[in-house]
Amino acid sequence: MLPILVQYNEEVLKRFAMLNRTGRLAHAYLFVGPRYVGKKKTALAIAKLLNCEKNTDGQKDVFCDECPSCIKMQVMGHPDVALIAPETEGASIKIEQVRSILEKVKMRAFGTGKKVLIIGEAQHLLTAGANILLKTLEEPSPDTILILTATAMENILPTIRSRCHMVRFSPFSKAALENQLTQHYDESKLASHFLAFSAEGCLGKALQLRDSQSFEKKNQAINRFVLSDDEAYIKNVLEEDEDVKFLLEILEGWVRDAILVKSGISDTRIINFDRMNDLARFAQKLAFKDLTDLYSQVVKAQKMLSENFNIKVALATIKLMM
Ligand SMILES: [Zn+2]
Phi, psi angles (nearest 5°) of residue 114:
-110, 155
If one compares 244 and 184, the residue with the highest pLDDT of the two is 244
pLDDT digit string (tens) for 50-105? 999 999 999 999 999 999 999 999 888 999 999 999 998 889 999 999 999 988 88
**Ligand 1 centre and the CA of 105: distance in Å?**
23
pLDDT of residue 6: 54
- Higher per-residue confidence, 251 vs 4: 251
Query: Per-residue pLDDT for 184 more than 90?
Result: no
Q: Examine the pLDDT at 147 and tell me if it is beyond 90.
A: yes
Nearest to 52, CA basis, from 32, 85, 81: 81
Q: Tens digits of per-residue pLDDT, 166-175?
A: 999 988 888 8
Give pLDDT tens digits for 37-49: 889 989 999 999 9
First to last CA, the chain: 41
pLDDT value, residue 2: 34
Averaged pLDDT of the chain: 91
Q: In angstroms, what is the span from residue 109 Cα to ligand 1's centroid?
A: 17
116 CA to centre of ligand 1 in angstroms: 15
pLDDT of residue 319: 95
CA 149 to ligand 1 centroid distance, Å: 24
Give percent above pLDDT 70 in the chain.
Answer: 98
Q: Which chain residues have CB less than 5 Å from ligand 1, an ion?
A: 52, 54, 63-64, 67, 70
Mean pLDDT of the 104-126 span: 89
Specify whether the CB–CB gap between 112 and 120 falls below 8 A. Answer: no
Q: Is pLDDT of 14 > 90?
A: yes
Instruction: For residues 88 and 269, give the distance between their C-alpha atoms in angstroms, rounded to a whole number.
Output: 38
pLDDT of residue 4: 40
Q: pTM of the predicted model, to two decimals?
A: 0.67
pLDDT at 232: 95
Q: Sign of torsion, CA 148 154 155 161? A: positive
d(CA 322, CA 287): 11
**How much of the chain exceeds pLDDT 90, in percent?**
70
Give the C-alpha separation, 111 to 48, whole Å: 12
The stretch 269-294 carries a mean pLDDT of 95
Average of pLDDT values for 230-245?
94
Contacts made by residues 16-20, CB under 8 angstroms, sequence distance 24+:
16/46, 16/49, 16/50, 17/49, 17/58, 17/60, 17/61, 17/62, 20/49, 20/50, 20/58
Residue 141: per-residue pLDDT: 84
Ligand 1 center to 66 CA (angstroms): 5
CA separation for the pair 14, 253 (Å, rounded)? 38
28-32: strand order across its sheet: 81-84, 115-119, 144-150, 28-32, 165-168
Please tell me the predicted confidence (pLDDT) of residue 51.
Answer: 96
Ramachandran assignment for 23, one of left (phi > 0), alpha (psi -120 to 50 degrees), beta (any other): left
Amino acid at 189: K
Out of 91-100, 151-160, 231-240, 292-301, least confident range: 151-160
Of 249, 246, 252, 220, nearest in space to 233 by CA: 220
Q: How far is the CA of 58 from the centre of ligand 1 (A)?
A: 12
CB 258 within 8 A of CB 279: yes
State in Å: Cα 62 to ligand 1 middle. 9
Count other C-beta atoms under 10 Å from residue 284's C-beta.
10
